[in-house]
Amino acid sequence: MTPEEAFQEIYTAADILLPVEQIPLLATLGRILRKDIIAQAPIPPFDNSGMDGFALHGDDLAGIPKDLRIQGEVAAGQVPVSEVFPGGCIRIMTGAQIPSGTEAVVPVEWTTEITPQSIRIDQRPKKGAYIRKAGKDMEQGMIVAKCGIQITPPVLGMIATAGYENIEVSSSPRVALIVTGNELHRNPAEPLPPAKIHDANGPGLAAQILEVGGEVIGPLMARDNAESLRETIRISDQAHVIVISGGVSVGKYDYVKEVLNEMGFDQRFWRVRQRPGGPMLFGMLGAQMVFGLPGNPVSSAVCFQQYVRPTLLKLMGAIKLHPPKMIAKLTTSMKKQAGLYHYVRGVVYQSEEGDLFVRPTGPQASNLYSSLQLANCLIHVEEEAVNPPQGKKVTITPLPWATFFKEKGNPAPKGFQSCPSSLGNEDALRQ
Ligand code: AMP
Ligand code: MG
């Protein structure tokens, strides 16, 4: 099965939509909106001034420079007490409601104060100048934010502008996370015993679940025997999705398939023509979607990114499941045989001319977690590609946690080259 066929299989199986919950706007950051937000009134709600200045009558837009009497003032939040008359003007602040009769606002900087009751207009504003019209941002009835988008800070702010306090978002998928392996150290408070390793996938995959807005059940640790695994899967029955790390390959103690099959598993596929993550398993256990991810930390993390993350987004009703695909030029050649689709951990950066360049993070073995930590993107290399040369254009997808594109030869943005020392911090506080 190719990665594309594997994803299609999962996409078809992911046919539930999680229930909607109505929660306070501020609690919705990162969630998926489940109902169009409609402007109930124009945004902004009334014509208002874009400048601190003076509201002018249309008759006074000619014959400038000229002197005008100040009739009164209107501050932000005040309702104007009178209309503006020819020969007069009303002092107005930014955001204050435009008095009727106004045809332009002249900024303070274009005027000279003659007396406390009069000003001279030095420069002529155009008709309509600095009047911010009601509904210019959004007209009444327009869609402010669309069902299926993720609530980002500006989406949240936009919804607030429309006056909503509680909004309908998707509830979070419950994801049971099971890590298998007798080599995993069970008690992190104790020193690491011989032949044991620290669990990377429990915390690592849990963080990936949280990043996309899921709720983690676990991590639950199972031993490499059928009873332990069966019991752990059984207690995961409240999860929408079960993610199992390890035990899906062909080792003598890889029990995941056997145990799942005993429990009535409907296997949809095992093995994908990809690297890392070749032995990936997927199927249904009743209504629960089960992903068996190979235990090597990079394999499980990349499989999560490529398959589990978009699935969780689909269950939440998201319209956009995948990160954008971009094209970048390889700065080094890569070793690759035909036969498998490769997801290579890469560092993408932009040249001064604006072109995107990418290089692999280094050795790509799937047990090397650092190859993932250093990456800000995945490089997609097609199944049939052989040894892509330097300069070749490749497809990349940014990783969700890539907050900036690293610069060439300078992995950190300027000013953040090293971890600030405590002394440095104290100095900064004193300043
Ligand atoms: P498996 O898929 O169970 O055959 O495991 C493949 C490799 O991944 C082995 O080297 C395991 O020790 C390693 N591995 C499995 N699970 C974890 C984990 N939770 N944390 C770190 N390494 C793991
Ligand atoms: Mg194992």
pLDDT tens readout for residues 242-254: 999 999 999 999 9
- List, for residues 90-99, the tens digit of each pLDDT value: 999 999 999 9
Q: Please report which ligand is nearest the Cα atom of 184.
A: 1
Give the global pTM. 0.91
Which residue of 180, 182, 183, 232 sits with most ligand 1 atoms within 8 Å of its CB, as the best mutation to test the pocket?
A: 183
- List, for residues 98-153, the tens digit of each pLDDT value: 999 999 999 999 999 999 999 999 999 999 999 999 999 999 999 999 999 999 99
Q: From atom 16 of ligand 1, which residue's Cα is the shortest distance away?
A: 295
* Dist. CA 295–CA 233, nearest whole Å: 17
Å from CA of 12 to ligand 1 middle = 29
Beta bridge partner(s), residue 169: 21, 33
pLDDT at 283: 98
> Rounded mean pLDDT of the chain?
94
If one counts every other C-beta atom within 10 angstroms of the C-beta of residue 114, the result is 13
Ligand 1 contacts (CB < 6 A) are 179, 181, 183-184, 197, 199-202, 245-247, 249, 251, 254, 294-297, 367
Å from CA of 383 to ligand 1 middle = 25
Query: What does the pLDDT average to over 16-30?
Result: 97
Contacts of residue 254, defined as CB under 8 A and 6 or more positions apart, other chains included, come to 224, 246, 247, 248
Tokens 């000279």 — which residue?
112
Query: What does the pLDDT average to over 340-360?
Result: 93
Q: From atom 7 of ligand 1, which residue's Cα is the shortest distance away?
A: 296
* Dist. CA 103–CA 84, nearest whole Å: 9
